[in-house]
Amino acid sequence: MKIMVINPNTSESMTENMRRNLLRIKGEDTELVVTCPDQGPETIDSSYDAALTVPPTLQLVQKANKEGFDAVIIAAFSDPGLEAAREISDILVVGIEEVTLHVAAMLCGKFTVLTPIKNRIPHKYKEVQNYKLDPWLASVRTTDMTVADTDANTKLAKSRILEVAHQAVEEDGAEIIILGCAAMVGYHEDISRELGIVVLDPTTVTLKICEALIDAKLTHSKKALYAKPPIK
């Protein structure tokens, strides 16, 4: 099977980091292309940034459809352009936030989402509500480091994640921690071990679920919400 992972952030270092991590865990039969648009914001730090990444991301979705891919993963934790991508795609498109929230909801009663910067907290609450999965939401907590800093300063990032995850468990009743930022890739195993708790890395989880869906010959429904746009 052939999967295109699109990082809507145009940061090459973040995309390379993601590529390395996913190649390590992909299924044997999985052919993986991890890419990012050639234009748009380097990192997504606002809804404004997210909005600008959508058109170039959609072009990559069209490319994946033409080039015989089996599925597309949109790999920024706010799933920019997911609905539009599904409309224009005959192959399965999944977003890392939607998949990860559902997997967390399958495996616990309450989860906490970590997000890099403070001013994204209300957006994460809103996103979880729009996905109608807020009954499972213990809290959104922030490491208070930008996406760029998280990407650059890995040691500090890890210790901040550990500290905040611990608070989520003790104070908010979190049973699972979701690392809600593509730049937090690669820490989940250590943190899971140190805290004795389930920690979800969205790109990892989503790649595995995506492989399973392809294996089960499933795609998003094209019947109503994601119907092909009328031809003009």
Residues 178-197 that bind its own copies (CB under 8 A): 189, 197
Cα distance between the two ends of the chain = 33
Residues 107-136 that bind its own copies (CB under 8 A): 107-110, 117, 119, 121-123, 125-126, 129-130, 132, 135-136
Instruction: Candidates 102, 153, 162, 166: give the one binding its own copies (CB under 8 A).
Output: 102
Instruction: Candidates 24, 66, 106, 155: give the one binding its own copies (CB under 8 A).
Output: 106
Applying CB under 8 A, which part among 15-23, 30-38, 68-76, 211-219 lies near its own copies? 211-219
> What tokens does 139 get?
């809290």
- Window 36-75: contact mask with its own copies (x via CB under 8 A): -----xxx-xxxxxxxx-xx--x-----------------
Q: Which residues contact 223 (CB under 8 A, 6 or more apart)?
A: none
- By CB under 8 A, is residue 224 in contact with its own copies? yes
Percent of the chain as helix, strand, coil, to the nearest 5: 50, 15, 35
Instruction: Return d(Cα 82, Cα 96) in angstroms, integer.
Output: 10
- By CB under 8 A, is residue 105 in contact with its own copies? yes
Cβ-contact 87, 228 below 8 angstroms: yes
